[in-house]
Amino acid sequence: KIASSGTCAEEAPSVQFPVAGMGSAASGIAEESRQLFTTVVHVHTIHEISALNSRIRKSILSAAKKTAGARLSNIGGWQSEADWLMTTEDDAIQELRHELSDAVYTALCSELPVEVVSDLDLRLTG
């Protein structure tokens, strides 16, 4: 369930200033300044993360014993199949998947209209 006001962040205000060597704002020459490449960082806190990490570790070690996993760049290690996070029935991984989904949807709802976010289908891989 997505809870959001459904509004996007407001556009940064434009600022006019004189361009060096080309006159001044008073003479009609001006530049417009906008924020284009800002980085937004969202923080999602998972309560009782130590306990969840312990359960996730056990789940991964168990899966590594049962399957060969993906053979990519993991020399001497184990890597899950690409769809493992979405397909495993393990309780700890399902809880992690739920936490990650909540964090992503909450962040998206704070940046995009709710109509856009509600049409998205989130898939986790790794």
pLDDT tens digits for 90-108? 999 999 999 998 899 889 9
Residues 6+ positions from 124 with CB-CB distance below 8 Å: 85, 86, 97, 100, 101
pTM of the model: 0.61
Residues 19-78: tens digit of each pLDDT: 444 444 555 666 676 777 888 888 889 989 999 999 999 999 999 899 888 877 767 788
Contact 102, 110 (CB under 8 A): no
Residue 87: CA count within 13 A, CB half-sphere: 8
pLDDT of residue 30: 66
- C-alpha to C-alpha distance for 93 and 96, rounded to whole angstroms: 5
